[in-house]
């Protein structure tokens, strides 16, 4: 196994989304609506949209937002090419006026977003867009697919890494990913979520991730004997010798042959057997027995890696059972987030400007979970001044101030009699400017910085929120001003119905 050299980690950023023109990655109704806006003279009307999600995958206590880097790349390269225009023209529903609008398209939106790696919760904007409504509409699909996918995988990776209790987790899922973009960007998101590296070589090349890999069962099967296969491999990689020991029989064949190769070949040249990998069978029993055999042979420094359809629950149970495991290779259940493969982010209109004033807009539904929050908004996180732990998030009307020197009372926006007063806190505004008038204004972060930030921010969450089952609900409340606007709009709508 090997990581990338330092020079590769410092290489100039390669932009995965530059590989293909992504401007046409949008649902078709974005084009039809944009034409309608243009025809009605509304294309340049300033609108506000929020990208948020309604529930945490697997009923977890938190999610991790990711994908901002690719979102920025997409927006910076957003142009409609001659081929794009020709295709749309061939559909015979768009007139020359609209096609000309697309030909001259240049992003003019203001965009705010939470930093990648931030723990996030339902109902709060992860991304906020302000701009001409035709533009804000056209970017909806790409923003959603980018943030939804990587946030899903980063969240799953975070759970799996926590289950491993400090042992390295390697992402091995490229061959089971749902397409090559999912493999590459999923590896990136998993690294943000905490995995130690990936088997996906192109993800290592593109993003500077550590890459890992040794041998498959086919290598062992090619040779006349398992011993010969091991011997040939360690001759090629004497300083990085990791052997797959479950092709035939882990305890009767694989581990004894690995020990024999370590003694007969590696130690004779001054090298050590770095590790073995087990990919099938009763991993708890096999790793305990393998550890005993390795230790008795004087190979106590030889590491044991396991793989085979692992997730956070299996990893947790293996460790509870006393399995002797030093690291984990996790594939399909990570790269596809198999238990719940959808991150339900949505993109909703929250306001429009008229004569410089924001007119609140909201979606009203009989399903309370689909009622949206109006207004141009901000998200404020409260931290305990002594422990540094996150206490609650508050969604406010943009521009509201919080006095850190005074107690602040939170209340449940539905069950308003449920209240909690916070004292001795600090606050942080989570939405940061990314684009102003279509120009990127943020400092781009390297992947290592994002990963460290993600780890640091997870440490601000209480253990009760980090539980896999029945986690404590984290408070995400509305300010009194925002709640009042929302409530008044609901009552006004009810009055119209009556």
Whether residue 187 is found in the same domain as residue 68: no
- Residue 361 located in a structural domain: yes
Please give the pLDDT value at position 19: 57
8 A C-beta contact, residue 347 and residue 95:
no
Both 245 and 384 in one domain: the answer is: no
Residues 219-229: pLDDT tens digits? 999 999 999 99
Residue 1 has pLDDT above 80, yes or no: no
Based on the domain organization, do 118 and 161 belong to the same domain? no
Q: Given this model, what pLDDT does residue 73 score?
A: 94
* Rounded-to-integer distance, Cα 244 and Cα 240, Å: 13
Same domain, 168 and 257: yes
Specify the number of domains making up the chain. Answer: 2
Residue 1 lies in a domain: no
**Residue 256 located in a structural domain:** yes
In the prediction, which pLDDT does 368 show? 83
One domain for residues 445 and 312: no
Q: Mark whether 470 and 417 lie in a shared domain.
A: yes
Q: Which domain holds residue 390?
A: 6-153+341-497
Categorize the per-residue pLDDT at 115 as very low, low, confident or very high, splitting at 50, 70 and 90. Answer: very high
In this prediction, residue 197 carries a pLDDT of 98
Residue 294 pLDDT level (bands cut at 50, 70, 90): very high
The stretch 295-300 carries a mean pLDDT of 98
Which H or E run contains 392? Answer: strand 390-397
Tokens 């493969």 -> residue: 341
- Whether 138 maps to a domain, the answer reads yes
Domain of 67: which CATH number?
3.20.140.10
Query: Same structural domain for residues 482 and 345?
Result: yes
Comparing 90-104, 117-131, 241-255, 481-495, the range with the smallest average pLDDT is: 481-495
In this structure, are 235 and 114 located in the same domain? no
Q: Tell me if 459 is assigned to some domain.
A: yes
The whole-number pLDDT of residue 496 equals 61
The Cα 352–Cα 340 span in angstroms is 35
Same domain, 49 and 145: yes
Cα–Cα distance, 164 to 1 (Å, whole number): 19
Helices (H), 2-139: 6-9, 28-39, 68-76, 82-90, 96-103, 133-138
171 within domain boundaries:
yes
User: Which tokens belong to 275?
Assistant: 């590790």
Q: What is the CATH number of the domain that holds 299?
A: 3.20.20.70
**What are the beta bridge partners of residue 325?**
none
Residue 70 lies in a domain: yes
pLDDT exceeds 70 at position 308? yes
The whole-number average pLDDT for the span 297-319 is 97
Residues 84 and 169 both lie in one domain: no
Q: Determine the average pLDDT of the residues in 42-64.
A: 97
Write down the pLDDT at residue 262.
98
Taking each helix axis as running N to C, give the angle between helix 140-163 and helix 447-458, from 0 to 180 degrees, rounded to the nearest 10: 60
pLDDT at 235 over 70: yes
Contact by Cβ (8 Å): 413, 483: yes
Environment class of residue 165 by beta-carbon count within 10 Å: exposed (0-12), middle (13-18) or buried (19+)? Answer: exposed
Task: Tell me which of 496 and 294 has the higher pLDDT.
Answer: 294
Give percent of the chain with pLDDT exceeding 70: 95
Please indicate, yes or no, whether residues 298 and 350 belong to a single structural domain of this protein: no
Domain boundary among 318, 335, 352: 335
Q: Specify the pLDDT at position 365.
A: 87
* Digit-coded pLDDT (tens) for 7-26: 333 333 456 665 567 899 99
Indicate the residue among 335, 361, 388 that finishes a domain.
335
pLDDT value of position 7 = 33
Using 50, 70 and 90 to split pLDDT, how confident is the model at 493?
A: confident
Residue 11 is predicted with a pLDDT of: 37
Say if residue 373 is in the same domain as residue 428: yes
pLDDT, one tens digit per residue, over 336-395 is 999 999 999 999 999 999 999 999 999 998 888 899 999 999 999 999 999 999 999 999
pLDDT recorded at residue 366: 83
Question: Could you tell me the pTM of the whole model?
Answer: 0.95
Confidence of residue 71 (pLDDT cuts 50, 70, 90): very high
If you average pLDDT over residues 161-186, what whole number do you get? 97
Mean pLDDT taken over the chain: 94
Look at residues 267, 300, 335 and tell me which one is the last residue of a structural domain: 335
Looking at the predicted structure, is the pLDDT value of residue 2 above 60?
Answer: no
Candidates 162, 142, 253, 150; CA nearest to 192 is 150
């Amino acid at each position: 196994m090997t990581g990338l050299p330092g020079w590769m980690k410092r290489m100039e950023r390669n932009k995965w989304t530059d590989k293909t023109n992504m401007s046409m990655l949008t649902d078709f109704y974005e084009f039809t609506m944009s034409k309608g806006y243009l025809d009605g003279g509304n294309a340049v009307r300033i609108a506000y949209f929020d990208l948020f999600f309604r529930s945490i995958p697997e009923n977890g206590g938190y999610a991790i937002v990711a994908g901002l880097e690719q979102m920025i790349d997409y927006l910076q390269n957003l142009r409609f090419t001659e081929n794009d225009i020709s295709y749309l023209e061939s559909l015979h529903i768009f007139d020359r006026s609209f096609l000309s609008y697309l030909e001259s398209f240049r992003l003019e939106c203001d965009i705010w977003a939470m930093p990648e790696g931030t723990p996030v919760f339902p109902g709060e904007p992860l991304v906020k867009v302000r701009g001409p409504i035709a533009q804000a509409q056209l970017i909806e699909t790409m923003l959603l697919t980018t943030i939804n996918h990587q946030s899903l995988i980063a969240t799953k990776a975070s759970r799996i890494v926590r289950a491993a209790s400090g042992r390295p987790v390697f992402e091995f899922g490229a061959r089971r990913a749902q397409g090559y973009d999912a493999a590459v960007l999923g590896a990136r998101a998993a690294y943000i979520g905490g995995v130690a590296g990936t088997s996906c070589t192109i993800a290592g090349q593109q993003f500077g991730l550590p890459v890992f890999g040794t041998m498959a069962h086919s290598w062992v099967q090619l040779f006349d004997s398992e011993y010969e296969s091991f011997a040939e491999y360690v001759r090629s990689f004497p300083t990085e010798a990791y052997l797959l020991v479950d092709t035939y029989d882990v305890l009767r064949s694989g581990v004894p042959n690995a020990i024999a190769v370590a003694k007969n070949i590696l130690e004779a040249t001054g090298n050590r057997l770095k590790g073995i990998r087990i990919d099938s069978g009763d991993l708890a029993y096999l790793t305990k027995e393998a550890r005993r055999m390795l230790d008795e042979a004087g190979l106590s420094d030889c590491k044991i890696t396991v793989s085979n359809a692992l997730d956070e629950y299996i990893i947790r149970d293996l460790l509870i059972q006393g399995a002797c495991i030093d690291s984990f290779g996790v594939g399909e259940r990570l790269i596809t987030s198999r238990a719940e493969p959808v991150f339900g982010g949505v993109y909703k209109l929250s306001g429009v400007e008229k004569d410089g004033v924001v007119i609140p807009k909201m979606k009203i539904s009989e399903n309370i979970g689909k009622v949206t929050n109006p207004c141009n908004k901000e998200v404020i996180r409260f931290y305990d001044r002594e422990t540094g732990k996150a206490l609650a998030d508050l969604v406010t009307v943009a521009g509201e101030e919080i006095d850190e020197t005074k107690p602040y009372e939170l209340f449940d926006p539905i069950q308003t009699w449920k209240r909690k007063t916070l004292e001795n806190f600090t606050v942080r505004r989570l939405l940061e400017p990314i684009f102003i008038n279509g120009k990127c204004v943020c400092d781009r972060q390297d992947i290592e910085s994002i990963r460290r930030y993600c780890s640091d921010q997870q440490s601000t969450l209480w253990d009760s929120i980090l539980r896999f089952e029945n986690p404590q609900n984290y408070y995400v409340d509305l300010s009194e001003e925002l709640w009042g606007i929302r409530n008044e709009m609901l009552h006004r709508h009810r009055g119209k119905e009556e």
